[in-house]
Structure 1
Amino acid sequence: MQLIYKTELQNFRLSKSTKISKEEVPLKKRVAYMVDVCFSIYPYAKLLALLFATIFLIGFGGLALYAVSESSFTEALWLAWTFVADAGNHADRVGTGPRIVSVSISAGGMLIFAMILGLVSDAISGKVDSLRKGKSEVIERDHVLILGWSEKLGPLLKQLAIANKSIGGGVVVVLAERDKEEMEIDIAKLEFDFMGTSVICRSGSPLILADLKKVSVSKARAIIVLVSHENSDLSDARALRVVLSLTGVKERLRGHVVVEMSDIDNEPLVKLVGGDLIETVVAHDIIGRLMIQCALQPGLAQIWEDILGFENAEFYIKRWPELDGLHFKDVLISFPDAVPCGIKVAAEGGKIAINPDDDYVLKEGDEVLVIAEDDDTYAPVRLPEVHRGLFPKIADPPKYPECILFCGWRRDIDDMIMVLEACLAPGSQLWMFNEVPEKEREKKLAEGGLDVSTLENIELVHHEGNAVIRRHLENLPLEKFDSILILADELLEDSVVQTDSRSLATLLLIRDIQSERLQHKDRNSTSLRFSGFSQSSWIRQMQNASDKSIILSEILDSRTKNLVSVSRISDYVLSNELVSMALAMVAEDKQINRVLEELFAGKGNEMCIKPAEFYLLDQEVLCFYDIMIRGRQRQEIVIGYRTANAECAIINPPQKSEPRKWAMDDVFVVISSGERNA
């Protein structure tokens, strides 16, 4: 009995609560809720409601007119429609009943017309707002798509605009998680001419497939993924997610994907996911290796800036059937407007051989890698006559121990140390001056894969301090270093302005301290590194504030380079701009990435600066072809030169067959295979 009583009590409470809940939601509110849901879910519900209201008003008004007038039902319906469409038509009605009905129908028609105007206005406003916020679809083809936003976007757009200049301009689409108007304002502030190239901005996330389809991702000829300003691992993880999103596009991508990465250790995972579709450019790795090369070869930064950008000479790969059967030594002098640097060997799966042997014979399918002004500015001609002659065969000078200073800490500093280990002679020293506690440095280096105990050629010397505090810098023997590298410290790398300001302050303090300590020293003394160069060589002019030190600053903002170059107290590596140039080159031709990887790598061929005495006698009259032939005897490709009084080097010089007089103060830019192993 007790159990039955409890069950009945529960049923009574349940029925009572259900009854109360129904009473708490009146029918009026339920109908209003259903209408609201209907209007929210179905976009055309408002139009259908107005259509039904108009039909109801015409039908009900026609019945009323039929009842109060002598008109037929069909005529009454037509009159009701005219009163709805034009409220003034009822003015000639006769009789009280027809006038009341006509005015009522006209009033309802005006209400419906006002609602239609409101809907049309809302639709137009929504469309304009969608266009303003960058939500509309991009209908383009063969465009370059940039995913993400960073300080590199400005230099990247500049290089793409220059690359498209020869075809009258192109289309670049930018998809980023920013407001479209803000992006357009920032792009409008860029201080260069787009030369016919159109830049279209869209707001959205590259991680969402719908946003990728909105920018015609499957029809783009190249896709560039920019790194964000987060931690290197986080930014590379985001790049990986973007690659996964791109591989998830149902329509097959027709273009290749160029992914900027922060850490070289994360590169294999991205390539594993993307496969052959992906080309990676590891920004920090490129700049780190380039800074090492430029520290050991002063002036190389300007040469790389010329070659990587599209403003001067750059790399191109093209097939020339008329050259089949020729030896590479003959191909080398076959282009009056280009400098051949290598061969894309068809028999080896398209492998690019830089600086091949002279006896290599071009076969069917082989392509030629050259440095030229543009892809349509060069073509092979008949072989010119060259004068080999006798010249001094001087071997490269031996390596001497060097002393180098790193100011600042980069997250890839372990890779830079390994490059130095491969380049420097035994007994060299690397002084590391930064704010990272000494006890944490070996731990950070070990996490990066560097075992300090395995270093054979260099010795690490640690000093802790702030590079913008003078008394900390004065504790260092600044007058003894062969090279001083001012790095963009990872603690401030997210702020371009602060990083460059810190680098400039450090540069000025170091030069001032050096000048005070060296004012009584003999300025003609020099480092053993440049024992092969003439006393008046332009390389020595870079040592104007010290008897031996070459200072190299890493600059992030292109506007800062003017302050450094005008002061003429330091060489610089414009890191953001150089990375943007590399991204643009790989976007235009994915094969160029293989070339850059070898020239920046720790093994193989590299760009070098060599003295004139390696190739000629003082005041000897030769054409540039003659020097190129002599360079082949050293297994080098001479790609340009710089005279003693010139402000910059000339890469791929014109009029290569025209003789001129050379001096010992001149230097030559070459691609050499033996520099690292000398």
Structure 2
Amino acid sequence: MAQRQRPTSLRDRARYLFDRTLARSTGALLGWLALCCLAVVVPVSALLVWTDPAAPRSLSGRLTAVWRTSAETLRLGGVTGAPLRMLLSVLLGLITLLCVSTLVGVITTGLGDRLTELRRGRSTVLERGHAVVLGWSDQVFTVVGELIAARAEEGGGVVAVLADRDTAEMQTALAPAPGTAPGVRLVCRTGSLTDPAALALVTPAAAASVLVLPAEGADADLEVVRTLLALRAALGARTGPPVVAAVRDERHLPAARLAAGPLGTVLETEVTTARLLVQAARRPGLPAALRDLLDFAGAEFHVVDAPDHLVGQDFGGIALCFEASCVVGFLTADGRALLAPAPDTVLAAGDRLVVVARDAVTAASAVPVDCRPAVDPTAMAAGGPEAPEPSRVLVLGWNRRAPLVVDLLRRTVGPGSRLDVVTGPNGGARPTTGPDGTDRLDVVFRPGDPVREETLRGLDVFGYDRVLVLAPDPEAGAERPDDRTLLTLLVLRSLEEETGRALPVVAELCEHRSRALAPLGPASDAVVRGELTALLMAQIAHGPELAAVFEELFAARGGALALCPAGDHVTPGREASFATVVAAALERGACAIGYRAHGAGRSGGLRLCPRKDERRVWGAEDEILVLTAAPGGSEDAHRTDGGRDRVPRMRLSHEGGDSPSGLSLG
């Protein structure tokens, strides 16, 4: 039996009728509005008249007073008399009300559009000597944060960001916390990066530097090239400021460097990330050390003029001439960087010093002091670092950087090493032998999904010397790339907790916000894709002369920065000064620039540029951060027929004009 229908109430019928009437047209809405106004104004006007002691006594007089009060309230005029005159008065009042309402609407719309336009950031930046950031990607947070920190150290300035996004959203996402950047102002503008008119909003011609960030997507590098061309069109015949850009695919490097021009520096993200992954796997704790060294929060690289009396002296003596900064090489008069040169290398006239110091003022104003009396030769360790031994490496996942990682591992591991790769059937290309046909690294591919717990439990993960977790490419699927990486790390972390053993894991992440979420163990590191490139871009934008330094720094086989056991330089258990460590490193062809005490943790605790006379008892598990020379010597790294371990040059090499024939890729 059907359920008996509930009778519709009068209230529901009235509401339904009212909704249907409002949905008909604007006229119906105005009618209801007028009816509601009359239903309120007329009774209140009548109450005012009937409670007024001076009101007329007659009914017609009071009704006329009610009409006048209501008409004045509704701005319809108060004409009395014949009905036609009253009707004309109402019509005139309605026309006046319509005109006034239209005028108010036009003014409101115009002001609203203007406020919206101002909110979008369409006014031109008038400052000079500011930093300009073009583009939006996950690297923008690192780049803008470092530029703001650098400007804050200098006493203030402006950082302008142009991207095809809402200005308010960019301002909210990038604005530093109150009080963290005194005197620094962040300006965001909205516009197309490939439109010279939009680029003019941030006044690139008056900027101190321009940074072009790589975007995501298949055509990201082509967008960078178009932006560089638009920047050249916006600057016209003017030389313009130094330009720092980055691309993801090395195939687009020549075109990007041509578009950037002779003052441009172009970095390649994929190779840099692959090198950092291999460095972190070979030397645990190095990512955190690199972040400390390349950000503006502590000590960083500087190029300073050498005092006249140091010209003609050898590098071994100069390295022990500064108490609170570390000299790591020379920048020659022709622009070549000699990092960790031989101790007998002489400083020539016109050469500059490459130092690691707390700030530019400390580096430039440091007074040379002979620190050799603080060196204790009896505390130096005998011998040198051992040759690399065979190792077992496990790679979980595959992406477009994986072939670079495999190639770099092949060049740096000891003979007889083994690399196991766990990836799905569509993992990508599968190299089995090295480019030179050697068997230094045996590569074996194993099917399986690294996210599944049974896959990892089926592996003897604790039998590997290091584990690399590679993030999927952003365009590989609809999900966020870091989700699979975080799941893999969660399974590995659970295995660590079950066995009570630490697993040396290096995880690649795509977003910097994922680092705080990553379940990393005590022996694990996280490398954020593109973070190192972003730090390098900020450093080069702040000091363009550092381009040659960083080119040489990251051109050496496997990287020129290393965390070495303190026992390689000083005798464990002996008290010695840091000058002793520096002298011991010089004998081994390296430059010591800091140390990390045992127990400080891999995510921090690095002490850069300690005073040469600082003394402490060095433990066997303490670590020394050193900078080593390229294989074969720093001078060999600049040969035009450089080896395959060199990264391509960051800049164009010109001998006559801005022509494609002047392109040099090392």
Question: 1:218-233 residue pairs with structure 2 within 5 A?
Answer: 218-231=205-218
Question: 1:417-436 residue pairs with structure 2 within 5 A?
Answer: 417-436=406-425
1:469 partnered with 2:455: no
Following superposition, the deviation at residue 674 of structure 1 comes to 6.9
Please tell me the root mean square deviation across aligned C-alpha atoms, in Å. 3.2
CA distance in 2, matches of 1:218, 1:278: 14
Alignment check: 8 A CA contact 2:388 2:414 kept: yes
> Which one of 429, 435, 447 corresponds to residue 441 of structure 1?
429
1:478 partnered with 2:461: yes
> CA separation of 1:422/1:164 partners in 2, compared to 1, >3 Å: closer, same or farther?
same
Please give the secondary structure, in 2, of the residue aligned with 1:242: helix
Alignment check: 8 A CA contact 2:423 2:448 kept: yes
Following superposition, the deviation at residue 247 of structure 1 comes to 1.8
The residue identity in structure 1 corresponding to 2:488 is: T
Question: 1:347-358 residue pairs with structure 2 within 5 A?
Answer: 349-358=334-343
Partner deviation per Cα, 1:591-620 (whole Å, 9 max, x = no partner): 323322333335386111222222222332
1:278 partnered with 2:267: no
Alignment check: 8 A CA contact 2:286 2:563 kept: yes
The residue identity in structure 2 corresponding to 1:335 is: F
Partner in structure 2 of residue 32 of structure 1: none
Question: 1:339-350 residue pairs with structure 2 within 5 A?
Answer: 339-346=326-333, 349-350=334-335
> CA separation of 1:252/1:132 partners in 2, compared to 1, >3 Å: closer, same or farther?
same
> CA separation of 1:387/1:570 partners in 2, compared to 1, >3 Å: closer, same or farther?
closer
Please give the secondary structure, in 2, of the residue aligned with 1:466: coil
Following superposition, the deviation at residue 121 of structure 1 comes to 6.9
Following superposition, the deviation at residue 119 of structure 1 comes to 8.0
Following superposition, the deviation at residue 567 of structure 1 comes to 5.0
CA distance in 2, matches of 1:236, 1:112: 55
Alignment check: 8 A CA contact 2:279 2:559 kept: no
> CA separation of 1:665/1:112 partners in 2, compared to 1, >3 Å: closer, same or farther?
closer
Partner deviation per Cα, 1:639-664 (whole Å, 9 max, x = no partner): 11122233344343433213332232
Instruction: Give the number of the structure whose residues are more often helix, by fraction.
Output: 1
Partner in structure 2 of residue 130 of structure 1: 117
Following superposition, the deviation at residue 465 of structure 1 comes to 2.1
Alignment check: 8 A CA contact 2:329 2:338 kept: yes
TM-score by length of 1: 0.72
> Which one of 582, 606, 613 corresponds to residue 657 of structure 1?
613
Partner in structure 1 of residue 43 of structure 2: none
Percent identity over the alignment is 27
Partner in structure 1 of residue 192 of structure 2: 205
> Which one of 350, 354, 375 corresponds to residue 387 of structure 1?
375
> Which one of 610, 627, 630 corresponds to residue 581 of structure 2?
627
Partner in structure 2 of residue 588 of structure 1: 542
The residue identity in structure 2 corresponding to 1:562 is: A
Please give the secondary structure, in 2, of the residue aligned with 1:416: helix
CA distance in 1, matches of 2:99, 2:276: 71
Partner in structure 2 of residue 266 of structure 1: 252
Alignment check: 8 A CA contact 1:146 1:175 kept: yes
CA distance in 2, matches of 1:257, 1:664: 45
The higher-RCO structure (CA 8 Å, 6+ apart) is: 2
Question: 1:311-330 residue pairs with structure 2 within 5 A?
Answer: 311-322=297-308, 323-330=310-317
Please give the secondary structure, in 1, of the residue aligned with 2:231: helix
Partner deviation per Cα, 1:262-281 (whole Å, 9 max, x = no partner): 11232122113323222112
Following superposition, the deviation at residue 354 of structure 1 comes to 0.5
Please give the secondary structure, in 2, of the residue aligned with 1:365: coil
CA distance in 2, matches of 1:244, 1:274: 8
> Which one of 217, 233, 238 corresponds to residue 223 of structure 2?
238
Please give the secondary structure, in 2, of the residue aligned with 1:664: coil
The residue identity in structure 2 corresponding to 1:213 is: A
Following superposition, the deviation at residue 436 of structure 1 comes to 4.3
Alignment check: 8 A CA contact 2:339 2:553 kept: no
Following superposition, the deviation at residue 353 of structure 1 comes to 0.6
Partner in structure 2 of residue 506 of structure 1: 488
The residue identity in structure 1 corresponding to 2:408 is: V
TM-score by length of 2: 0.73
The residue identity in structure 2 corresponding to 1:320 is: A
CA distance in 1, matches of 2:209, 2:153: 18
The residue identity in structure 1 corresponding to 2:444 is: V
Partner in structure 2 of residue 555 of structure 1: 509
Following superposition, the deviation at residue 632 of structure 1 comes to 0.9
Alignment check: 8 A CA contact 1:609 1:670 kept: yes
The residue identity in structure 1 corresponding to 2:413 is: L
1:572 partnered with 2:526: yes
Partner in structure 1 of residue 551 of structure 2: 597
Deviates more, 1:279-288 or 1:641-650: 641-650
CA distance in 1, matches of 2:495, 2:384: 37
Alignment check: 8 A CA contact 1:158 1:192 kept: no
The residue identity in structure 1 corresponding to 2:620 is: M
1:406 partnered with 2:395: yes
Deviates more, 1:560-569 or 1:320-329: 560-569
Alignment check: 8 A CA contact 1:243 1:274 kept: yes
Partner in structure 2 of residue 336 of structure 1: 323
Long gaps (5+) in structure 2: 1-96, 634-666
Following superposition, the deviation at residue 122 of structure 1 comes to 6.7
Partner in structure 1 of residue 385 of structure 2: 396
Please give the secondary structure, in 1, of the residue aligned with 2:624: strand
> Which one of 361, 367, 375 corresponds to residue 346 of structure 2?
361
Partner deviation per Cα, 1:128-165 (whole Å, 9 max, x = no partner): 33212222222121111111111221222211111111
Partner in structure 1 of residue 24 of structure 2: none
The residue identity in structure 1 corresponding to 2:359 is: D
Partner in structure 2 of residue 171 of structure 1: 158
CA distance in 2, matches of 1:494, 1:279: 32
CA distance in 2, matches of 1:158, 1:655: 29
Following superposition, the deviation at residue 127 of structure 1 comes to 3.8
